[in-house]
Amino acid sequence: MRLANWPRARLRLGMVGGGLGGNIGAAHRTAALMDGRWDLVAGALSRDPRRGAESARAWQIAPDRSYPNAAEMAEAEAGRNDGIQAVAICTPNADHHPSAMAFLKAGIHVICDKPLTTSVALAEELVRTAKDQGLIFAVTHTYSGYPMVRAARRMIAAGQIGEVRSVSVEYLSQYHTAGSEGWQNDPARNGPLGAVAGTGTHAHHLAEFITGRRVTELSADLASLGPGNRLDDHATMHLRFDNGARGCLWNSTIAPGNQNGLSIRVHGSTGGLSWHQERPEELAYTPFGGATRLLYRNGAEVAAGAFELSRVPAGHPEGYLEAFANLYSEIAEAVTARLDGSADPEVAFPTVEDGLRGVRFMFAALSSARNESRFENL
């Protein structure tokens, strides 16, 4: 239970988007602050100036550091001695790229929501720019912060299920059952993919993150089945991995009874693993020929990794915000090392490269769906 006790130098964080009214900004803020590694000191919290100011006030950001937009914020903060050291971007998808570019060019580390961009070319530009600028660029695939996801990843890396043969991942919700609205139903602001962009990219990332394998080709069938849904609300995919493993991905936002149903099952030559995001503390592990074991954070028979990203003993549930906070604490480690000029620490938060993979995944799915579900490389 390392996290809560970390000695720490605090870092200065800014936020773009995420103002009052939505959920995502508050989640970023609570996660960032949980372990005492970050202070939130600046923001361009809303396109609506009044809501931006109100949000800044509620979150105790000084009025002169509440900005109308990302560009002005990047410039002003870069000019301050006490300027932000990193920025969290939680705007609609189409705004990720320009915002991120502004901060990268200003020499500020970036934490960005997914999907990273609305085209592969824009994502590639972010990868290049982050590299050229020598900056940390994290992408918030939040679910990779769960201790039992980390435990699964370590178990697979350690060979506990043998060679990975099969990966099934699904992400189900009911948000768009009666239709969707706002920017998530607007191709201009969301990009050309719907569910696949919003939740499918999380599922794809989780599959690669846990297995350490990469999807090399996929076949997708996309549909818009809910009334008025302009973008895909249902997708099924065949997945093929770089080691020959096969898999499937099922993604729906029109699945009544599912709140935030991300789950994954991995089967290997000598064992299987199963994890569900809504019961994140539990990982079911079956060594082939043996009984299924239920593993818990900080519990028995769990690989070491789950102990570090953890605050309370087994049986005291940690959840989504703690998983998110784990990423923020790892990012703080990485940013601190970069600021200090010391070596990159061993942390596992998703980066801009993962973000690019997510965008490639989205467009491979789109292309496959438009071509009779033929396999596409990514």
Beta-strand relationship, 86-90 and 11-17: parallel
| Residue number with CB closer to its own copies (153 or 234) | 234
Which residues make beta-bridge pairs with 169? 249, 264
- Closest contact distance (angstroms) between CB of 25 and its own copies is 9
3-state secondary structure of 159: coil
| Residue number with CB closer to its own copies (9 or 343) | 9
On the question of a cis peptide bond just before residue 115, with omega within 30 degrees of 0, the verdict is yes
| Residue number with CB closer to its own copies (179 or 187) | 179
| Residue number with CB closer to its own copies (29 or 114) | 29
- Closest contact distance (angstroms) between CB of 223 and its own copies is 5
Identify the residue whose tokens are 């990779």: 144
Token output for 347: 């942390």
Exposure of 286 in the CB half-sphere (CA atoms within 13 A): 13
| Residue number with CB closer to its own copies (44 or 325) | 325
Token output for 354: 């993962």
Largest CA distance in the chain: 64
- Closest contact distance (angstroms) between CB of 182 and its own copies is 15
Q: Which long-range contacts (CB under 8 A, 24 or more apart) does 49-54 make?
A: 51/19, 51/20, 51/21, 52/19, 54/19, 54/20
The enclosing H or E element of 89 equals strand 86-90
Identify the residue whose tokens are 């605090």: 10
- Closest contact distance (angstroms) between CB of 149 and its own copies is 13
- Closest contact distance (angstroms) between CB of 130 and its own copies is 28
| Residue number with CB closer to its own copies (123 or 264) | 264
3-state secondary structure of 44: strand
| Residue number with CB closer to its own copies (286 or 367) | 286
Identify whether the C-beta of residue 198 lies closer than 8 Å to the C-beta of residue 291: no
- Closest contact distance (angstroms) between CB of 198 and its own copies is 13
Identify whether the C-beta of residue 233 lies closer than 8 Å to the C-beta of residue 153: no
- Closest contact distance (angstroms) between CB of 144 and its own copies is 15
Q: How many residues does the chain have?
A: 378
